[in-house]
Structure 1
Amino acid sequence: MRVICPHCLSVNNVPKKESYKKANCGKCKKSILDTKPIELSETTFDEVVVNSDIPVIVDFWAPWCGPCKMMGPNFEKSATKFPLKTLFVKVNTENEQNLGARFGIRSIPTLMVFKDGKEVHRVSGALDESNLSKLVNQFL
């Protein structure tokens, strides 16, 4: 399966397994098991979403948004639970207004789930850690 390196955004081919002890990027050699959310821009968004064989959960947020600040730690914590199962990414709508407009983001935070490069689900509003995990599990 194709997965994106969270450090250099290179596409890596990884055998599909139930769990992984070690998996390093073929380009930068850093661990692709590092599951911290990746900050995407208009130039990197399509490349990452289209080239990921695992579901991509996108958090559209802004630094001034109170609910976004509340959900941010839950989003980061949830990302650590699904290494090489789901890719967690963030889009700062303040800096990436074209992406927000392209996807019709009207309120933040908005979470979008992409599979095979296509949007399959969308939810607006802050989610707690439990509901984030339930959302992810729906698309595994």
Structure 2
Amino acid sequence: MSQSLKITCLECGAVNRAPSDKLGAGPKCGTCGARLMDGKVRELDPATLQKASKTDDVPLIVDYWAPWCGPCRMMAPEFQKAAQSMSGVARFAKINTEDFPKVSMKANIRGIPALILYQKGREVARQAGAMPAKSIEDFVRAKSQTIS
């Protein structure tokens, strides 16, 4: 029997439950109908980041970035490739540290781009610096508590 996992909708902020064996089938939010595991990178606001990082059972990898950061802009397409490759396994999101400096201060971000992996209500791992898609995928697989 599959276990029920909590997943926060990154569009409306509603917390949903989905069976672990159905994540690849594209579950939708019961409130707004948005896809919960669609392989796209979502821009987050602080409230949604807070809720998802504290609630979700599914791995959530967040890219802390800024528009003026060259390595951040270079990594963006690689981050999107990794998100598509890991659709149904993990979710990918970004937060703009220039728009939300308090978030990066609270997360103790010292340099960008910085990736933080959240799962089951806590930070699981972090990695600084630009990385290719394969390295991002390897990082998520190695540090996640539920995927291999």
Same fold (TM over 0.5): yes
- Which of the pair is proportionally richer in helix? 2
The structure 2 residue matched to 1:44, chosen from 22, 32, 48, is 48
CA contact (8 A) 1:6 1:35 kept: no
**Root mean square deviation, CA, Å:** 1.6
Question: Between the two proteins, what is the percent identity of the paired residues?
Answer: 35
The correspondence of residues 1-140 of structure 1 with structure 2, limited to 5 A, is 1-17=5-21, 20-138=24-142, 139=144, 140=147
- Alignment partners' CA distance in 2, 1:19 and 1:119: 21
Change in Cα spacing, 1:86 to 1:48, as seen in structure 2 (3 Å) is same
CA contact (8 A) 2:61 2:93 kept: yes
Tell me the TM-score normalised to structure 2 length.
0.86
Q: How many residues align?
A: 140
Q: Give 1:23 deviation, angstroms.
A: 2.0
Q: Secondary structure at the match of 1:80?
A: helix
- Alignment partners' CA distance in 2, 1:50 and 1:91: 16
Q: Give 1:95 deviation, angstroms.
A: 0.5
CA contact (8 A) 2:58 2:91 kept: yes
- Alignment partners' CA distance in 1, 2:120 and 2:43: 20
Q: Could you list the runs of 5+ residues in structure 1 that have no partner in the other structure?
A: none
